[in-house]
């Protein structure tokens, strides 16, 4: 379990193309010296301040396009920075989007700012802890694994956050 991954160049001779650097790092957020994954998750969360982004016809294609593109650009970045490079944060963005999408599936599209905060912390928890099969994908040392472990973390986070909100609401209504 790594809370802070160090930025390291595995192969100085490899140069990543500009698109891969911009896309994988989400406009260079991944180059923030510490906690780049946390900042990447926050960047992903900002999209939900746009009301239309929670619509499935926008959110699902965005997830699919960014997941697939993230695999290709992460592969490029891995050649320079090694396995699961900390400069790559598109996986956190996609994971955060999946967290919210799963939660919205259960709640029919309802959420507020406090819910987004809960979803953020739930995703960060599951992204750091890496419960199976997320740990399997994290250990795979592939670009698909870089993206997929955050997909799994997002599913766990969305379901867990919904369960927590549901349990608390049941307790409150029955007291």
Could you write out the DSSP letters of every residue in 71-122? Answer: HHHHHHHHHHH-SS-TT--HHHHHHHHHHHHHHHHHHTS---HHHHHHHHHH
20, part of any domain: no
- Residue-level pLDDT at 15: 87
Return the H-helix or E-strand segment holding 65.
helix 56-81
Q: State how far the Cα of 161 lies from the Cα of 69, in Å rounded to an integer.
A: 28
| Arithmetic mean of pLDDT, 32-48 | 95
Give the predicted TM-score (pTM) of the model.
0.90
43, part of any domain: yes
4, part of any domain: no
Q: How sure is the predictor about 3, in pLDDT bands with cuts at 50, 70 and 90?
A: very low
17, part of any domain: no
Q: State how far the Cα of 69 lies from the Cα of 90, in Å rounded to an integer.
A: 9
Q: Is the pLDDT of residue 84 over 90?
A: no
85, part of any domain: yes
Joined tokens for residue 16: 């990543």
Name the least confident of 1-15, 24-38, 68-82. Answer: 1-15
126, part of any domain: yes
Name the least confident of 30-34, 58-62, 71-75. Answer: 30-34
- How many domains does the structure of the chain reveal? 1
23, part of any domain: no
Return the H-helix or E-strand segment holding 54.
none
13, part of any domain: no
Q: How sure is the predictor about 157, in pLDDT bands with cuts at 50, 70 and 90?
A: very high
Q: Is the pLDDT of residue 79 over 50?
A: yes
* Enclosing domain of residue 76: 36-173
Q: Is the pLDDT of residue 5 over 90?
A: no
């Amino acid at each position: 379990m790594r809370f802070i991954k160090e930025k390291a160049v595995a192969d100085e001779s490899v140069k990543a193309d500009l698109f891969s650097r911009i896309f994988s790092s989400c406009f260079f957020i991944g180059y923030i010296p510490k906690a780049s994954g946390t900042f990447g998750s926050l960047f992903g969360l900002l999209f939900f301040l746009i009301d239309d982004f929670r619509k499935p016809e926008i959110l699902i294609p965005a997830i699919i396009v960014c997941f697939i593109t993230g695999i290709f650009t992460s592969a490029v970045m891995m050649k320079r920075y090694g396995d699961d490079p900390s400069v790559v944060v598109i996986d956190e963005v996609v994971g955060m989007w999946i967290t919210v999408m799963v939660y919205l599936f259960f709640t029919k599209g309802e959420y507020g700012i406090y819910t987004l905060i809960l979803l953020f912390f739930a995703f960060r928890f599951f992204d750091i802890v890496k419960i199976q099969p997320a740990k399997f994908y994290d250990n795979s040392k592939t670009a698909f694994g870089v993206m997929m472990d955050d997909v799994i973390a997002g599913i766990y986070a969305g379901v867990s956050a919904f369960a927590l909100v549901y349990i608390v609401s049941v307790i409150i209504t029955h007291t």
